[in-house]
């Protein structure tokens, strides 16, 4: 493998179609598509400032690098990408990728990131400004993860999340086959129009959660006081450890909690309208 160390590049496509190349302490200044159409690239302790630096890259390894805000849309259209201990300031950073691993990564401008990606594994990551993150992505394995940003995981599928804190309005809309464990879900209108959403030992806050959902399962979750008007038109099986402020027009299934402040079943409830709602002892 050829090594380029402590050099600087700029302009358009300075390393176009490179292969079997290791970059050490390299700076890519303003320009465009520095490493386009490349494969088997390693970058360590590098700084990327120009836009579109890693388009159409396969077998890419990035470690201890900084992708500045200028490196927007940094990694699109690739296969087998691993990023470790890296700061990604660039917006719209990852799209149309298959086989992505992120470990110890920070993305402070994560809006519209990780769209149309498959087979994604994330460990120990923090993302901010993450509006619309993960749209249309599938087969995601996420743990030890912190997110600030709305409209996340829309139209995404086949997802497992654990030990996460998600501050996100409208999360999991139209998602399919999602399991979230041991996590905090903070945001309004959680999980609307989802299918096969399963929440286990999660703490949920935000108004009108989990409406219009199909085959919704909650196991030993808690709902904050502001999580009112829950489960409207949903097919649900929920065991809530603690109170529920209010339940409105669930479609079918069962809901159990330690207490329920208000149960609203009115003329707008949808068939079969046979959800069993009960209060159980705290023991």
| Structural domain boundaries in the chain | 1-149, 153-283
As a whole number of Å, the CA-based R_g of the chain is 22
User: By the 8 A CB rule, do 23 and 4 touch?
Assistant: yes
Q: What is the pLDDT of residue 34?
A: 97
For residue 283, the model assigns a pLDDT of 59
For residue 152, pLDDT over 90 is answered with yes
The pLDDT value recorded for residue 282 is: 67
Q: Please, which pLDDT band fits residue 35 given cuts at 50, 70 and 90?
A: very high
pTM given for the model: 0.95
Task: Count the neighbouring beta carbons within 10 Å of the beta carbon of residue 101.
Answer: 17
Q: Is 93 exposed, middle or buried (0-12, 13-18, 19+ CB in 10 A)?
A: buried
> In which element (H, E) is residue 12 found?
strand 8-12
Structure tokens at 214: 């199909």
Tell me, what's the pLDDT at 241? 97
Given pLDDT bands bounded at 50, 70 and 90, which one contains residue 281? confident
CA neighbor of 61 nearest in space, from 101, 25, 7, 13: 101
Mean pLDDT value of segment 246-269: 97
Residue 200 CB-half CA count within 13 A = 10
Task: Provide the token pair at 50.
Answer: 């120009």
Distance CA 274, CA 256 (A): 14
Percent of the chain having pLDDT more than 70? 99
Conformation bin of residue 177: beta by default, left when phi > 0, alpha when psi is -120 to 50: left
Write the pLDDT tens digit of every residue in 111-121.
Answer: 999 999 999 99
User: Which tens digit of pLDDT belongs to each residue from 80-131?
Assistant: 999 999 999 999 999 999 999 999 999 999 999 999 999 999 999 999 999 9
Q: What is the mean pLDDT of residues 171-194?
A: 98
């Amino acid at each position: 493998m050829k090594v380029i160390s402590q050099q600087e590049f700029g302009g358009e496509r300075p390393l176009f179609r490179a292969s079997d190349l290791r970059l050490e302490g390299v700076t890519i200044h303003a320009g465009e598509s520095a490493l386009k159409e490349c494969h088997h690239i390693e970058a360590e302790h590098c700084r990327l400032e120009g836009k579109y630096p890693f388009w159409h890259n396969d077998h890419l390894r990035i470690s201890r690098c900084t992708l500045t805000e200028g490196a927007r849309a940094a990694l699109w259209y690739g296969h087998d990408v691993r990023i470790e201990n890296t700061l990604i300031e660039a917006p719209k950073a990852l799209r149309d990728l298959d086989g992505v691993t992120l470990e110890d990564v920070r993305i402070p401008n994560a809006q519209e990131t990780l769209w149309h990606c498959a087979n994604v594994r994330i460990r120990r990551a923090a993302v901010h400004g993450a509006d619309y993150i993960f749209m249309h992505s599938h087969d995601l394995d996420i743990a030890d993860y912190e997110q600030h940003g709305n409209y996340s995981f829309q139209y995404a599928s086949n997802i497992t999340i654990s030990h996460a804190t998600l501050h996100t309005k409208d999360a999991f809309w139209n998602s399919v086959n999602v399991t979230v464990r041991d996590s905090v879900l903070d945001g309004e209108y959680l999980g609307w129009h989802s299918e096969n959403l399963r929440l286990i030992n999660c703490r949920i806050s935000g108004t009108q959660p989990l409406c219009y959902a199909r085959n919704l399962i909650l196991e030993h979750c808690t709902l904050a006081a502001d999580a009112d008007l829950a489960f409207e038109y949903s097919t649900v099986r929920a065991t809530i450890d603690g109170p529920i402020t209010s339940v409105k027009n669930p479609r079918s299934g069962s809901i159990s909690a330690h207490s329920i402040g208000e149960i609203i079943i009115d003329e707008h409830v949808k068939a079969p309208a046979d959800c069993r709602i009960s209060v159980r002892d705290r023991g």
